[in-house]
Structures are given as C-alpha cells and as structure tokens.
Chains A and B, each alone.
Chain A
Amino acid sequence: MSDLVGLLIGLILTLFIYSYVVGDNPLYRLAVHILVGVSAAYTAVVVIQQIIVPVAEQIRQNPTDRTSLMWGVPVFLALLLLLKRLPSLAWLGNNTVAMLLGVGAATALLGAFTGTLWPQITAVPGFNVSPFQGLLIAILTIMTLLSFQFSGQIKNGQWQLSTWQQGITQIGRAVLMITFGALFAALLNTGLILLGSRLSYYLNQFLQQLS
C-alpha cells in the first residue's frame, strides 16, 4: 500500500514538472518549490548527521583530548561566521570566509594542475590514433586555446587582431562550435533516454500494482 502511495505522489509531482512543456504555470512552480524545500532540508540533515554530530560527539566524549582541543579552532571560526548577521561585528566573519578561500584556493591550484592540466597535456586518447591524427588533435587543441584571445593591435584607432590571429581564432571557434554541437547531441540523447525510462518506470510499476 505504501509503495502505491509513494508511486502516486511521485507520478503527480512528475506530471507537475512535465506541465512546463505547455509553459510556465502554478503546478510547475509548486513542484519546484517543493523540490527546493525538500532538497535544502535533506542536505542540511545529512550535513548535521555526517559532519556536525561526529565532531560534537568527539568533543563531548573526550573534551581534553588533543584532537578535541584542535577542533576548537574551526568551532571558534564557525562562531565568527555566525557574527555575520550582526552589522557591527560582521567583519569578524570575513576571517572564516578567508580561511575557507585560502584552503580552497590551495586545493584548487594543485587539483587543477595535477588533475586536469598535466593529464590533458600528457594523456594519449583512449582510442587508436595515427601520428597524423595525433598531430591534428594537438594543433586543433592549440587553436581552440588561442581562440580565447582578445588582445590585438591598434589599427585606425581600433583594436584589431592581426590576419594570422583572425584565421586561428576562426578555426578555433569552429572547433568549439562542433564540440558544443556534439555535447548538445549527447545531452539531448541523455534527456530523451531519461524521459523514456521515467515513463516506462511508471508504466511498469502500475502494471505490477494492478497485477
């Protein structure tokens, strides 16, 4: 019985969302607001259960332990973050944001270098490529990067790219457009597969319930 109730709620909400196909309407907005409310609250519950509670338990069980004492620093910084609600003391909360950004920037720096930049420069494609194809990929990659070039020379009082820069930029942008077109096709395919699987899921579930 509870399965059927869950299924019906899910189906009704799914239809509310699909009603957007005929235009923005109150049912769609209602469903979206429910989604925002539930997902925000669910995220908060998970964060409390998985991150806040374990730290609180650790401090409660061994308050004088070295690890517990070390947690005093982020707890203090968290309290400073709360002060951002008070206009006269809001600047103290900036220290917490600064700490988060400092740690985040360092992690992003190493992550971008070791996780993206270096592998993308050194990686060989997973499929068989001839030396000519490899060279072509390298040249097109460089042209794609060079197409993000917005500085040039002043000619007749206007900023202009030189002729060779214009040529490279056009080829690079063509490569980008083809890439975006391929991504668009892949996303469209994914969306259609999801739509089909969702509809077949409800159909199968209802047939099961009926039988």
Chain B
Amino acid sequence: MSKRKLPLAIAIAFGFLTLLGLLFMPDLSHLLLGWAGFLAAVALLLGVLNLLAVHFGRLVNGRNVYSGVLVLSMVVVFGLAITDALSITENGVTTVFNWIQVPLETALASLLAFFLLFAGFYMLKRQRSPGAILFLLTAVLLLLSQAFTATTLLPANIRDPFQQVQTIINNIIVTAGMRGLLIGIALGAITLSLRLLLGLDQPYNK
C-alpha cells in the first residue's frame, strides 16, 4: 500500500467504525474516542515541546528577550510540576495558575471592551456602507436600551420604546440571524466531515 493510500484507508476505516460505534455500539465508540483523546494529548504535548524548542532557538540565536521570558515561564511551571510530584513544594502549579494565568487572562478578556470600541470607530471611519451603518446603529441602540433599562432615573415613556425595540430585535431578528448562522455552520461541518469520511479531502497527506 502506498504512502498516500494507507492514511486514507486508516481515516476512512476509523471514521466509519466511530460512526458505527456512536450509533449502535457505545463500547466501540468509547474505546475509539479514548484512543483519539490519548493521541490528541500526545499531539498537544509535542506542540508544546515544539513551542519551547522554537523559542529556545530564538533565545540562543537571536537573543530575543521575549522568547527568553516565554522559555523561563515554561521551565518554571514544568519545574514546579516536578517539585509538586516529589512533594518538595505544595500546589506550586496551582499557585502559578492563580497568581499569573488567571489575572492575565481576565485582564486580556476585559481589554476586549477597548478592542471592540476601537474596531467600531475604525469601521465607522473607513467603511460607511449600508451594512456597516446598520451594524453600528443596532449596537448603539441595544447599548442605549440596556443602559436605559438598568436605570430608574429616566421616565417610563422614554425607557419603554427602547425596551420594545430591544425585544423585537432580540426575539425576532437576532433569533433568526443566529439560527441561520448556526444552521449554516452545522451544514458546513457536516459537508466537511462527509468529504473527510469519503476520502475526498485528505489533509493528512499534505
């Protein structure tokens, strides 16, 4: 069997066995999904090691400070994992997670507000198409109506129309738009999966 046909045969065989297992034989699907989970874990580990190797190379060859910081961060976490396992330290990895990763991730997520605001202004400046105007009009209207709903300082005759428009937009237009998008995504995923299962797409042979 050639170098290209063996992976094709494996993909199709494992694909149909998994499909069979998920539909009729839970034990088989459990086994195959366990194997796939294990292999995905190994692939992820190799990816992390590759990241470490690439940045170590940049540190040594290019004297890149940022790569040095990245390598040091990784080495510290790996070191703490080893000392935790040897009971030299206690919850070292969890402490790093709570002290460093959680604040950084939360800060990045909260920075989303700034990113979105900048993106909105850029859009208004550069692309004044009917679609862009509709997009921003909806966003401003919903933000205003949410702000008005939250306050009791405004009289009801000002708040209520905003509330009604918000309800109509959310309950009808956004429901339809989201449903259309989700159905489109599902149809795309099904098409791609079928192409992989039938061997029409062979990304593993590239």
Contacts and interface: CB of A to CB of B under 8 A. Distances in A.
A204 interface: no
Interface residues of A, number: 106
Contacts of A69: none
Given A17-B107, A102-B11, A191-B113, A181 B77 contact: no
A180 B135 contact: yes
A74 B14 CA distance: 12
B25 interface: no
B106 A198 contact: yes
Interface residues of B, number: 114
Contacts of A160: none
Contact of B138 (A105, A148, A177): A177
A9 B132 CA distance: 41
Contact of A109 (B11, B104, B181, B193): B193
Contact of B177 (A107, A111, A140): A140
A129 B167 CA distance: 12
B104 A13 contact: yes
B156 interface: no
Interface in B4-22: 6-8, 10-16, 18-19, 22
Interface string B154-179: 00000000000000011111111111
Contact of A9 (B6, B99, B112, B114): B99
A82 B46 contact: yes
B181 A176 contact: yes
A177 B143 CA distance: 16
B66 A112 contact: no
Contacts of B40: 100
A59 to B, nearest CB: 11
Interface in A53-95: 55, 70-71, 73-74, 77-78, 81-82, 91, 94-95
B110 A106 contact: no
Contacts of B36: 99-100, 103-104
Interface in B85-138: 93, 95-117, 120, 131-132, 134-138
B177 A176 contact: yes
Nearest to A78: B42
A182 B138 contact: yes
Contacts of B38: 51-52, 55, 71, 74, 78
B120 A184 contact: yes
A29 B13 CA distance: 45
A70 B31 contact: yes
Contact of A81 (B42, B76, B114, B136): B42
A96 B171 contact: no
Interface of A: 5-6, 9-11, 13-14, 17-18, 20-21, 29-31, 33-45, 47-48, 51-52, 55, 70-71, 73-74, 77-78, 81-82, 91, 94-113, 116-117, 120-121, 125, 127, 129, 133, 136-145, 147-148, 172-192, 194-195, 197-198
Given A40-B52, A138-B176, 18 more contacts: A35-B104, A78-B38, A82-B46, A94-B3, A102-B12, A106-B19, A109-B189, A109-B190, A120-B183, A120-B186, A145-B180, A173-B131, A177-B138, A178-B169, A182-B174, A185-B139, A185-B143, A195-B113
14 contacts: A10-B100, A18-B111, A35-B100, A52-B41, A81-B39, A102-B13, A103-B14, A108-B192, A137-B176, A178-B169, A178-B177, A184-B139, A188-B117, A194-B113
Interface of B: 3, 6-8, 10-16, 18-19, 22-23, 31-46, 48-49, 51-52, 66-67, 69-78, 81, 93, 95-117, 120, 131-132, 134-140, 142-143, 146, 169-187, 189-190, 192-194, 196-197, 203-205
